[in-house]
Amino acid sequence: EAGVAQSPRYKIIEKRQSVAFWCNPISGHATLYWYQQILGQGPKLLIQFQNNGVVDDSQLPKDRFSAERLKGVDSTLKIQPAKLEDSAVYLCASRIAGGNTGELFFGEGSRLTVL
Amino acid sequence: GDSVTQMEGPVTLSEEAFLTINCTYTATGYPSLFWYVQYPGEGLQLLLKATKADDKGSNKGFEATYRKETTSFHLEKGSVQVSDSAVYFCALSDPTGGFKTIFGAGTRLFVKA
C-alpha cells in the first residue's frame, strides 16, 4: 500500500515569495491534515479536511496561508507571501474514514527555508 | 482546549538502561492517546496507542498505560538500544472534535553504546 506522498521535499525561497506544497493521502483516507513543524517543536495543526470540506482551520494564518482539497483526494497548501518565521517542515497526514482511534499516517514532509 | 505536555529533552542514556518519558494531557472529552516516533531522516510514525482508560499500548518493547486519574500516558522501555535514538512525540486525538490530533513538543532520546 502506498503511503502519504508529499512534494517537494525541500524548498528555499526569499521572503515575500510564494510557495505551494502538494499532498496525496493514502487511498481511501477521507481525512487529511496539514501540520507545521518548526525545528525543535511538535507538529502544530494548520488545517483538517474531511473529504473536501474543512473540519478545523482555526490555527491557519489565513492572511497568508491557504489550502484546498477540491476533489476530496489530494491537497495543496499555499503560502503567499512567505515570512522568515514560516521556515519549517510542512507535514501532511491522513486517516482512514470510520476508524475509531484517530491514528494518523504521515508523509515525509516538505522542508521550507525562507531567506 | 486540549493540550499535551511532555518532558523536555534531550534524554541521554547508555544502552540497556531503563527509559521513561513523561506525558500528561488535558482534554475535555475521552481522547485516544498515542506515542509517535521520528527517527533521523524519516517521517513521523505511530509507535503505540491506547484508546481508553487503563489500556496499555505496546510495540517494539515500548509500553504506555492510559491513566485517566492522573491524565498521563508515560512511555517506558526496560532496555534501550542505540537504534531507539529518535524524537518521541506524545499526542491525543479527540473523537468528539473530529479526531483533531494535538502533539506535545517532543523529547529527543540519545542512546550511547
- Written as nine digits, the cell of A81 is 507571501
Distance, in Å, from the CA atom of A44 to the CA atom of B94, rounded to the nearest integer, reads 15
- Give percent of chain B with pLDDT exceeding 70: 99
Using the beta-carbon criterion (under 8 Å), do B45 and A101 form an inter-chain contact? no
Distance, in Å, from the CA atom of A17 to the CA atom of B32, rounded to the nearest integer, reads 39
Question: End-to-end distance of chain A based on CA atoms, in angstroms?
Answer: 37
Give residue B95's pLDDT: 77
Contacts of B36 in chain A (CB under 8 A): 104, 106
Grade residue B33 by pLDDT with cuts at 50, 70 and 90: very high
Residue B13 has pLDDT above 90, yes or no: yes
Give residue A114's pLDDT: 97
Task: Give the model confidence (pLDDT) of B92-101 as tens digits.
Answer: 998 777 778 8
Distance, in angstroms, between B43 CA and closest chain A CA? Answer: 4
Using the beta-carbon criterion (under 8 Å), do A104 and B101 form an inter-chain contact? yes
Task: Give the model confidence (pLDDT) of A15-30 as tens digits.
Answer: 999 999 999 999 989 9
In the predicted model, what is the mean pLDDT of chain A? 93
